Amino acid sequence: VSASATIRDVAQHAGCSIATVSRVMNASGPVSIEMRDRVLAAIAHTGFRPSEIGRQLALRQSRNIGVVVPSLTNPVFATCLAGVQQAARQDGHNTIIAQSDYNPDRERAAITSLLAERPAALILTLCNPSDPQTRAFVASLPVPAVLMFNEPYAGSPPTVSVHNHEAGHRLARSLLDHGHQRIAFVSGSMAQSDRASARYQGFCAALSAAGLVPQPVYEVNFMEADDAADLSGLLTSQRPSGIVASNDLLALGVIAGLRRLGLQVPADVSVAGFDGIRIGRLIEPGLATIEWHAHALGVSAAAMALELAHSGTTTRVLRLDHQFRPGGTLAAAPVEAICDVEPRISSTSNPINEPLSGVSS
Amino acid sequence: VSASATIRDVAQHAGCSIATVSRVMNASGPVSIEMRDRVLAAIAHTGFRPSEIGRQLALRQSRNIGVVVPSLTNPVFATCLAGVQQAARQDGHNTIIAQSDYNPDRERAAITSLLAERPAALILTLCNPSDPQTRAFVASLPVPAVLMFNEPYAGSPPTVSVHNHEAGHRLARSLLDHGHQRIAFVSGSMAQSDRASARYQGFCAALSAAGLVPQPVYEVNFMEADDAADLSGLLTSQRPSGIVASNDLLALGVIAGLRRLGLQVPADVSVAGFDGIRIGRLIEPGLATIEWHAHALGVSAAAMALELAHSGTTTRVLRLDHQFRPGGTLAAAPVEAICDVEPRISSTSNPINEPLSGVSS
DNA sequence: CTGTTAGCGCATTCAA
DNA sequence: TTGAATGCGCTAACAG
């Protein structure tokens, strides 16, 4: 029982050939009832568990799906991964993971390492799919691949994502509607994330439409929830009354960074983020954010990957819905902030369309 | 290039036998310089990546390590996993994951599924290792296994964990030192976690030593950070002035639950947890907690597992250090709470040994 | 130093 | 309905 039995042991015990055993295991051919029972008994008796490895070699394909995410410690990726794993399991697949640590070189190494396992499919959240080198590498992948969370591009693998651009627009609108006119966009290293880029583009579009001139992204050295974000360079003469962070984890770091500088949220500065991580709802004030169903994103990615592996084709681009989640970190702009700003072009009135009814829902 | 080349293709291109190719790949035998170069060139030319599957079958062992955790959405497990994955990668191993969802049946199914991959080793955070059925199952595992985060027991696999009991004691002391006398312990389903049990035991020991009678665990239906914890049954006539949650994620849920009931933290009730998840430092008030290095826990678990897989032996029990992390959620007990309590046995004075100097460090 | 050969555990023709 | 034989890609003796 300890040294795992092989299909031959089972065949011996059942008094049949290994072909028959294989047939009852996979229902891949006709087997008489009595023989089936004999084999089943032999399997139970020997404690036989078919080796995936043998199976994989024979079929030249595994039942594993490989997943690469930038990091596991950002809850939004962990949640995606949970969804992937659950969906994969329900289809009889195991999940092999790798982290790119937001590093394109590591990313390539990680994918290469996964490829050695001959996975049935790959699910990738790429650092920077706009990089030509990355695109070429992804295009040459010898197994079906699906992009998760990334922005699809011409020639990209099938992609399940969210409306990053719209989300950026939507969040900017919320701040504008609360009377904010000086709004900063804070991000980690921008070159590393097409998600952050797309959100920023949407953000800019909303500001421009409101007659404001968007400021460049304020980049902070903040990959994970290690520390408060260093905002000393942002809060100079013209302090923003609102800050949009490129994701929720960073938003928490921004709030901590503001606090360190003696500023209150939302009294002095409003803050909002993207992702809708669960923890954002538990804290006080609740984190205003654009929320999407990260778990469903993972489930969908796995579904697409498996469909691709099986039938060779699937939806090309799937975008999951998002919604604005109000939170106490986003409040009306302070009066002085509204006053001391010189309108850039023609500041239309910005009625507060979505007053917050207290805390997060 | 697309349809992955095999070792035979390489041998052909290099004009040698597959054995020679294997030798240069694994440095497993003498090869002349010129031949080595020829093979290397052929590998580069064909884009050959050796199939782990073929290798695994030949060696009857894979370079994968399997990991089972209760959940991926609790940051403490995600962080452990990140550590495991990093350490495994550095040793040339891939990481296959599975979640038990805090369900012993799922747990067994998950392990069984991983075993089919013939992993070099298994790293397990078990739901409930005190369950005889679980113990028997774990004891019969055909591959090396390591327990992570669980309490070791007689006959258990090698274990890397923390001092759960001491941590519980330490945290209770902190509350006592802040003048709290009515302290509740809140946990998710208790039967599911030996970690929570051990922490509670330590908690009880500290209370007893202080002459207090510990109350039974207050169990809430709270597996993940989905919602505020329902504390309606806890905050009745004799409201506790302090609450210890069995982990940080739950502590956040408890704080949210208190807020929903109109109670302030720490003004009305102090709260503390275990794990030291990073996010606890970013929020305000900072979460008081017992902090351990979850990432290092994962790294150590992987190191032990790999050592076990390689040499067949390793440290039996490794306990990582912890430390108390002060936080604004833990403050001095309200005066009325101290007064209206009737001393159970002989309430010794509880000087505030560790006044909090503001927010979290 | 290099090539030949024999499996590893399984799925799968092809015969019977 | 069943069995025998073949090969998946690779490693590891064993010869040469």
Residue B164 phi, psi dihedral angles, 5° rounding: -60, -45
Mean pLDDT of B28-47: 94
pLDDT at residue B357, rounded to an integer: 33
Chain C footprint positions (protein CB, under 7 Å): 1-5, 7-13
Strands (E) in A12-151, as ranges, are: 64-69, 94-99, 121-124, 145-148
List, as ranges, residues 281-310 from B with C-beta within 8 Å of A: 281-284
Q: Is the dihedral of CA B182, B183, B189, B192 positive or negative?
A: negative
Q: How far apart are CA B29 and CA B26, in angstroms?
A: 8
Residues of A in contact with B86 (CB under 8 A): 99
Q: What is the mean pLDDT of chain B?
A: 90
Whole-structure pTM value: 0.91
* pLDDT tens per residue, range B50-105: 999 999 999 999 999 999 999 999 999 999 999 999 999 999 999 999 999 999 99
Give per-residue burial for A307-330: e unless 16+ CB within 10 Å, then b. Answer: bbbeeeebeeebeeebebbbbbbb
pLDDT at B222: 74
Q: How distant is the Cα of B89 from the closest Cα of chain A, in angstroms?
A: 8
CB contact under 8 A, B71 and A82: yes
Q: Return the higher-pLDDT residue of B249 and A225.
A: B249
How large is the average pLDDT for residues B219-245? 83
Nearest nucleic acid nucleotide to A49, CA to C1' distance: C9
Q: How confident is the model at residue A193, as a pLDDT?
A: 85
Contact B288, B174 (CB under 8 A): yes
Establish if B261 touches chain A: CB-CB under 8 angstroms.
no
pLDDT of residue B337: 47
Assign B229 a pLDDT band (cuts: 50, 70, 90).
confident
Q: Which of B 203-222 lie inside 8 A of A, CB atoms?
A: none
Contacts of B52 in chain A (CB under 8 A): 116-118
What is the mean pLDDT of each successive set of 10 residues along chain A, which is 361 residues long?
Answer: 80 94 94 95 95 95 96 96 98 98 95 97 95 96 97 97 98 97 89 87 97 94 73 86 96 94 94 96 95 98 97 95 97 70 39 34 27
Per the listing, tokens 């047939």 go with: A23
Cβ contact A95:A67 at 8 Å: yes
Residues B54-66: pLDDT tens digits? 999 999 999 999 9
What is the rounded distance in angstroms from the CA atom of residue A316 to the CA atom of residue A141?
17
Each residue's pLDDT tens digit, B142-187: 999 999 999 999 999 999 999 999 999 999 999 999 999 999 999 9
- For the segment B323-352, what is each residue's pLDDT rounded down to a tens digit? 999 999 999 998 764 444 444 333 333 333
Q: Is the CB atom of residue B47 positioned under 7 angstroms from any atom of strand D?
A: no
3-state secondary structure of A53: helix
Which of B101, B91, B99, B96 minimizes the C-alpha distance to B143?
B96
The dihedral through the CA atoms of A50, A51, A53, A58 has a sign that is negative
Query: Taking residues B22-42, what's their average pLDDT?
Result: 94
* H, E, C per residue of B235-265: CCCCCCCEEEECCHHHHHHHHHHHHHCCCCC
For C12, nearest residue by CA–C1' is A19
- Yes or no: say if B80 and B170 are a contact pair by the CB < 8 Å rule: no
Amino acid in the structure at residue B146 = V
Residue A3: predicted pLDDT: 65
Please check whether residue B61 touches A, CB under 8 A: no
- What pLDDT was estimated at residue B248? 96
Task: Give the residue from A23, A3, A26, A29 showing the smallest Cα distance to A11.
Answer: A23
Beta-ladder partners of A320: A162
> What is the Cα–Cα distance from B351 to B329, expressed in whole angstroms?
19
pLDDT the model gives residue A86: 98
The model's confidence at residue B193, banded by pLDDT at 50, 70 and 90, is confident
- A251 neighbors A269 (Cβ within 8 angstroms): no
